Homo-oligomer: A and B are copies of this chain.
Amino acid sequence: MFPTLDPLLHSELRLAVMSLLISTEEAEFPYIKEQTGATAGNLSVQVDKLSAAGYIEVEKTFKGKKPCTICRITPTGQKAFEAYIQALKAYLNITK
């Protein structure tokens, strides 16, 4: 009846991050921070969780002399995001 909602995605900030990455394919940490309005600390933690789950990959490079953290969604992450949307539909009463 009500499928479980992937707890990794059922989180406001992580969902926002995934939402951004689904459409941009690649985004830098400060950009995600600005778009989501999150604090750096919170974002850092949530990015780690998504990365640990294999939903995104995180590349640490440099932009000139400044460190630069780039995030990309993985195929696993895309599938999980799609599945989450499908599961949500059971809750949102599309059965009107």
Contacts and interface: CB of A to CB of B under 8 A. Distances in A.
A46 interface: no
Contact of A16 (B15, B37, B91): B91
Interface string A56-81: 00000000000000000000000000
Given A1-B36, A2-B16, A16-B91, 19 more contacts: A1-B35, A1-B37, A2-B12, A2-B19, A2-B35, A2-B36, A2-B37, A5-B12, A10-B10, A10-B12, A15-B91, A19-B90, A19-B93, A22-B93, A23-B93, A23-B95, A85-B92, A88-B88, A88-B92
Interface of A: 1-2, 4-5, 10, 12, 15-16, 19, 22-23, 35-37, 85, 88, 90-93, 95
